[in-house]
Structure 1
Amino acid sequence: MKIVPTLLGFSAVLGSSFQTVYGAATQEQWKRLGESLQGRLHPATPLSAPCFSVVNGKQVPRNESACREVQQGYTNPDFRFPRANARMILQWETCMRTSEGCLLDSLNPDNSAAWVGKDCKQGSIPPYFIEVAGPEDVQKAFDFAKKTGTYLSIKASGHDYKGRSSLPGSLSLWTANLKSMSYSKTFTPEGGNKTHAAVTLGAGATTEDIYKFADENKFTFVGGYAQTIAASGGWVAGGGHSVLSPVYGLGVDRVLEFKVVTPDGKYRTANEFQNQDLFWALRGGGGGTFGVVLESTMLVEPVMSLRVASISVPQNPDNAHQFLSLIINETYKWNQEGWGGHMTSVSLINVNPLLTLKEAQKSMKPITDFALVNNGTSVVEELPSWQAFFTKYVLSAQAVIGQPTIMGSRLMPTELFKTDQGRAQLLNITFTELTQYKTDPYIILGMPTVYKYTEGSTSITPAWRKASFQLGGSVRYSWNSTVSDIVQIYREVTERTQLARAIAPHSGAYFNEGDLYEPNHEVAFWGDNYPRLLKIKKKYDPEGILDCWQCVGSRGLTDPRFSCYLPLL
């Protein structure tokens, strides 16, 4: 079902709030743009606006039924995805620097303290969005931006820890309704002559739908660990890790072709045969900066059975210390055996497409034995397909959405796991996170450890190829936290992430999940690839029409479009 949050008549919004859009567009220009888009240009107020009696400084009737719908779906990703005015990570619905926004209490959306006597402010929600139906819509948006100075932002799913799909006062290009999916056993990239088993996906196709489509068509798609990730969007552009990546590579390793509108207004096919520089840049250079991807084609695998380990122990300091020690001691072996998964200080859900069930049980025996003698649980089983695994384990274990969440992470080099000293350093920083910072370390076995990589074929940091796991963690805060509270949390996340940087100074970080205030971010996210990426950025976007936080070529806090970011750097 397609849901478009118009909320107010277009002409009414034009008359009252169009001036909040950055740029010099007149009402007449907005009207002409809307007419040219045949009804696909819409105004938007914040998701929670129906619960408020004052919206953007104006008295409005409180809409009880619409508010109840928002309250019921507030932390549900399937509710948020089809709404252009919703984000999965809630600080990006606000202006953090001024604390203006329109949030409900995520832990209790019925809490009236969130709206009684409060003004629902626009925050970082773009006041207008285009419901993108094809390349012509994007081309019109680029032309409009160049003529009027209007900022542009791009959103598919809103799974974004860095606010790149939110931009106050911008015109948003919303690609979520581009949901096409097609499978070919003999896909040939344009200009090529070799065929591949591949799936072609619209920019709004979500992992849950892709996995179901794959299961119905008897293939396996290597994708993310949440149901509403748009696989053709920021996930793949930033690298795209999966629990199948140790064996089958990252998302960027599997892309055969992109269809993209670049800021010069051209609709291009980018693959290894044409627009090769753009193809390379889109394979890891990050979303929201080189153009608007409308479609991607990715390699697929045959249906495969998986060995799955789900192991946990009760949460207490002794258990956590020993569990983390076991994880760190076993990681290098697990890397070589093809295990991928997500792990905390007291639990793991890991998968393996290579080992037999007997081999998997043997591989997991040290941690299984520990769990069973410490009142924990251990299941090592075989499931017939990725879809069976996703349905049983992922839907209940994916990251929390619908709350303000801050994340930081680091790619931890394999060399650390080969020595007693390195493993001791890793155990020390992970346990320090848990005890000193009260943050449960979140470890992802998603590095392409046994995948056969073609050197130089992607633009992500080379640190991905030399790492054994990603060490990170997240902190959530409440709807009514003050600016000073939020500043302090961001500083603590940066400080905590520095523990990992200190023992891995020459590694890097995942662009999509790195610290919002990553120091020397160009090197952390792209390493030696950054100068080439910047050159490509300037080639396809010489006027800097697209810009996003810590993206290639970003102007950062010197640009007023980032006025809602906290100036911590």
Structure 2
Amino acid sequence: MACQVQLILAIFAALLAALPFLSLNSFPIRRLLYPTCRCFPGEPCWPSDESWDAFNKTLGGKLIKTVPIGAVCHTNQSFVPYDAAACAELQAHWNEADTHVSSPSSITAPFFADQSCDPFAPPSSPCSIGTYVQYTVRAAGASDYRATIEFAKSNNIRLTIRNSAHDYFGKVTGAGAIAIWTHHLKDINVFDYASKHYTGKAAKVGAGVSMSEISQALKQQGLLAVIGNAPTVGVAGGYTQGAGHGMIASRHGLAADQVLEWEVVTAGGELLTASPSKNQDLYWALSGGGGGTYGIVLSMTVKAHPDEPTATAFLQFNSEGISTDLFYETIATYLHNTLAITDAGVGSIFQLSSAYFAVVPILGLGKTKEKIDELVQPTIDALTSKNIPFSYESTQYNSFHDAYAATTVETPVAFGQLGGRLPPRSDIEFSTTSFTGALRTIAEKGGLISGLSFNVSRMPDVPNSVLPGWRRSTISLVTGLIWNNTDWNANLEAQRIISEEFIPEIDRVSQQAPSSYMNEAAAREPNWKSVFFGDNYPELLRIKKKYDPSGLFWARTAVGSDTWVEGSDKRLCRT
């Protein structure tokens, strides 16, 4: 068989030599030679340097050739000179989001860099582009989207979509890929919006606007939007497209519930508006059905709500000095307490390890300090009656934005691997002891646990593709293990533990089929279609095929992604 393939290729080469009007760079010829895979660097089909230069000119100089930021830590590379001081500086700031957000190619999930140019590896270790994208387009508008789409299609090159690089699945990178970088689309326009379903203030934000940027813009006008707890995350990217939770979700709903319109460029290069009255199927899919697969979002228009006084509270107690049983009994009291807290329109975040339990914070939009104290009182009473030392502090702020700035810190990135679940409310309401027992098992195995509590059971006025599990749940639960910068095998074992021990422990005590926030889940989730999309998957796939029939847009665990697979060299090929 191998000899036959070689013979066929030799015949094609001879034809090309005999017919000068044909070229190996001709798309039909490449599809004959490489029918099932995206073109890969080093292959005859890969564009020449002259082709890349010409493409860059059409973009007005917006094409960026990848230089891995970890290259300064390596002697065995030709990107930049080795610099021990610069390497030490990079290592010191590696877990800060800005390190990766400001880069056109770096990623926040180190596993998907596949040890290429790893800043913590020995200086003499290999350093190549590897799984990083080959080039990035610093997009400034729809014309850059279209030009990049056309170049990728005509050259059969893998295309990926990159915003802020906050991503636990490596969706923003890919071996042999070109990335459209939406991060610099920063326009924010606040205006009066009127439609059949909504009349009021709205904010139209470019695809690259971050949580902190929309917060600052709306603060000046006495407004707010539903945002999450990581200030540098892009609002219109995978966050909103994947549902998007946050501290005021109990009051106003998920981020996807806020969307009034999308501007999106399709795989065919068409700029569409998707709303409840235009291209309704695309609007439905983008509003909760996951990012990076139906089209490339240019902007998003969302509801802007009035700002209000906001109260917060922090609570912590430790396991030291009390029995383990008592420690988890008190945690169970708090978890049950969160039902009343979220039903009152308040959100909260807790953190749990075998050593401590902390609520950081509880946040009530439109609530007074006294109301927050009242809501938390059942947990305070339990701590007091059991003589458990604890710390508690509540604060009143004049606005949500002041509370957000005071209580929100940038989550470290590139430091852990995780898995997640959206346990149904019934697990907390009727099986609190069993549920807490599962958390105890995970914590005693060294797992770190976090949960964002909410109540988003109220359906939005306009249907969207948010995973139904969100409406039944009351906690977005995440559990994980710390990333080991120097032991690759330990990280692989951590992935196994999360997927085969931690998450199954939660599923074991649950009353319903598992669901998970698609942005905060295990990279090895075997049942990702049902766990991330539920019964929406077949319709989402139909819409995917309608707007991207050739499968140009690909991302791990995105709708339709199982029609492609990464090989041992990470090249993308059809299954």
**Identical positions, percent:** 25
Q: How far did 1:445 drift? A: 0.9
> What residue ranges of structure 2 are gaps of 5+ in the alignment?
1-38
Establish whether residue 474 from structure 1 lines up as the match of residue 480 from structure 2: yes
Q: Runs in 1 of length 4+ with deviation above 6 angstroms?
A: none
Partner in structure 2 of residue 101 of structure 1: 116
Partner in structure 1 of residue 295 of structure 2: 291
1: distance between equivalents of 2:274 and 2:456? 24
Partner in structure 2 of residue 159 of structure 1: 166
Establish whether residue 304 from structure 1 lines up as the match of residue 312 from structure 2: no
Contact kept? 2:62, 2:137, Cα under 8 Å = yes
Partner in structure 1 of residue 13 of structure 2: none
Q: How far did 1:447 drift? A: 4.1
* Equivalent in 369, 376, 397 of residue 364 of structure 1: 376
Partner in structure 2 of residue 377 of structure 1: 391
2: distance between equivalents of 1:278 and 1:408? 29
1: distance between equivalents of 2:41 and 2:366? 58
Distance 1:234 1:490, change over 3 A: same
Q: How far did 1:119 drift? A: 2.5
* Equivalent in 342, 349, 365 of residue 342 of structure 1: 349
Contact kept? 2:241, 2:290, Cα under 8 Å = yes
Contact kept? 1:557, 1:563, Cα under 8 Å = no
2: distance between equivalents of 1:115 and 1:42? 27
> What residue ranges of structure 1 are gaps of 5+ in the alignment?
1-16, 106-113
1: distance between equivalents of 2:522 and 2:200? 37
Partner in structure 2 of residue 497 of structure 1: 503
Contact kept? 2:211, 2:232, Cα under 8 Å = yes
3-state SS, counterpart of residue 272 of structure 1: coil
Larger mean Cα displacement after TM superposition, 261-270 or 122-131:
122-131
* Structure 1 residues 222-278: Cα deviation after superposition (integer angstroms, max 9, x where no partner): 101011010010100100001110110001000111111111110111111111100
Q: How far did 1:26 drift? A: 3.4
Establish whether residue 84 from structure 1 lines up as the match of residue 92 from structure 2: no
Partner in structure 1 of residue 135 of structure 2: 128
1: distance between equivalents of 2:44 and 2:185? 27
1: distance between equivalents of 2:335 and 2:110? 33
How is 1:257-336 mapped onto 2 (pairs within 5 angstroms)? Answer: 257-316=261-320, 317=324, 320-336=327-343
2: distance between equivalents of 1:251 and 1:59? 40
Partner in structure 2 of residue 38 of structure 1: 60
Partner in structure 2 of residue 353 of structure 1: 365
* Equivalent in 128, 132, 150 of residue 157 of structure 2: 150
Q: How far did 1:523 drift? A: 1.2
1: distance between equivalents of 2:193 and 2:44? 43
Q: How far did 1:188 drift? A: 4.1
Contact kept? 1:167, 1:562, Cα under 8 Å = no
Contact kept? 1:202, 1:296, Cα under 8 Å = yes
Contact kept? 1:219, 1:300, Cα under 8 Å = yes
Partner in structure 2 of residue 5 of structure 1: none
Contact kept? 1:45, 1:125, Cα under 8 Å = no
RMSD: 2.5
2: distance between equivalents of 1:319 and 1:156? 45
Please tell me whether Structure 1 or Structure 2 has the larger radius of gyration of its CA atoms. Answer: 2
Distance 1:311 1:43, change over 3 A: same
2: distance between equivalents of 1:255 and 1:197? 12
2: distance between equivalents of 1:319 and 1:70? 43
2: distance between equivalents of 1:273 and 1:201? 20
Larger mean Cα displacement after TM superposition, 486-495 or 368-377:
368-377
Partner in structure 2 of residue 210 of structure 1: 214
Distance 1:67 1:333, change over 3 A: same
1: distance between equivalents of 2:299 and 2:569? 28
Partner in structure 2 of residue 506 of structure 1: 513
Partner in structure 2 of residue 26 of structure 1: 48
Distance 1:209 1:24, change over 3 A: same
1: distance between equivalents of 2:91 and 2:559? 37
Amino acid corresponding to residue 390 of structure 1 in structure 2: Y
Q: How far did 1:170 drift? A: 0.4
TM-score, normalised to structure 1, is: 0.86
Distance 1:295 1:127, change over 3 A: same
Contact kept? 2:346, 2:363, Cα under 8 Å = yes
1: distance between equivalents of 2:100 and 2:44? 26
Distance 1:321 1:134, change over 3 A: same
3-state SS, counterpart of residue 378 of structure 1: strand
Amino acid corresponding to residue 441 of structure 1 in structure 2: I
Establish whether residue 430 from structure 1 lines up as the match of residue 439 from structure 2: yes
Partner in structure 1 of residue 69 of structure 2: 47
Partner in structure 2 of residue 443 of structure 1: 451
2: distance between equivalents of 1:297 and 1:59? 41
3-state SS, counterpart of residue 441 of structure 1: strand
* Structure 1 residues 126-147: Cα deviation after superposition (integer angstroms, max 9, x where no partner): 1210000111111111111211
3-state SS, counterpart of residue 80 of structure 1: helix
3-state SS, counterpart of residue 474 of structure 2: strand
* Equivalent in 411, 416, 440 of residue 422 of structure 2: 411
Distance 1:383 1:406, change over 3 A: same
1: distance between equivalents of 2:123 and 2:537? 48
1: distance between equivalents of 2:45 and 2:537? 30
2: distance between equivalents of 1:520 and 1:261? 30
Contact kept? 2:309, 2:366, Cα under 8 Å = no
Aligned length: 522
Q: How far did 1:474 drift? A: 2.1
Contact kept? 2:289, 2:540, Cα under 8 Å = yes
Distance 1:497 1:22, change over 3 A: farther
Contact kept? 2:131, 2:570, Cα under 8 Å = no
Q: How far did 1:468 drift? A: 1.2
TM-score, normalised to structure 2, is: 0.85
Contact kept? 2:264, 2:295, Cα under 8 Å = yes
1: distance between equivalents of 2:162 and 2:312? 34
3-state SS, counterpart of residue 393 of structure 2: strand
Q: How far did 1:22 drift? A: 11
Contact kept? 1:21, 1:150, Cα under 8 Å = no
Q: How far did 1:71 drift? A: 4.1
2: distance between equivalents of 1:471 and 1:85? 29
Contact kept? 1:88, 1:401, Cα under 8 Å = yes
Distance 1:490 1:504, change over 3 A: farther
2: distance between equivalents of 1:83 and 1:394? 23
Q: How far did 1:76 drift? A: 2.2
